[in-house]
Amino acid sequence: MDVGQIVKKAKKGNKEALLQLVMNQKDEYYRLAYTYMENQHDAMDAMEEMILRLYENIGQLKKEDAFYSWSKTILVNSCKSLLRKRKKLVLVEDFNQYIEADIPDPYLHSEQQIDIQQLLMKVNPHQAETIKLKYFHDLDYETIAQITNVSVGTVKSRIFEGLKKLRRFSGGGKDE
């Protein structure tokens, strides 16, 4: 059965069909959520919120073949919403975990991952987000534009300028 048929079933209220759609790409959803949330628990919370929003709004989806890009947009918006809420409320336990998280765990991240994360902190947040979506999640320009709510040209520009800065910061750029 193709995705379009499963989406049609989900739009008619079939919860099993919606669950099947989500389970087909659960790893991609998780990796995308983890990119934004940076921990397993929060990534799972964002996925739960996405599933709830999908269930409530699937009737609004006009093109069945756009389900996965639409659902990823909802996931990213859920992540951003949770991050905004988190900034407003900092629990004492979270603050203590944050302080403990500053102590590097050599078994948690490889040296290369840390280098990439540090480099991405040197570009602006929009460029870092776009680069992560393109190169960590292998999303096309159109999907990234939809997720970030900007034009395809803006996505390409952010990637180009971000990569240019990263090359310069890593010592590989000749320009500027």
Secondary structure element (H or E) that encloses residue 35, with its range = helix 26-37
Over the stretch 28-52, which tens digit does the pLDDT of each residue have?
A: 999 999 989 988 999 999 999 999 9
Secondary structure element (H or E) that encloses residue 10, with its range = helix 3-11
Going by C-beta distance under 8 Å and a sequence separation of 6 or more, which residues neighbour residue 158?
Answer: 126, 127, 130, 131, 150
Q: What is the pLDDT of residue 121?
A: 87
Over the stretch 115-168, which tens digit does the pLDDT of each residue have?
A: 777 888 889 999 999 998 998 888 999 999 988 889 999 999 999 999 999 888
Going by C-beta distance under 8 Å and a sequence separation of 6 or more, which residues neighbour residue 176?
Answer: 164, 168
Q: What is the pLDDT of residue 114?
A: 64
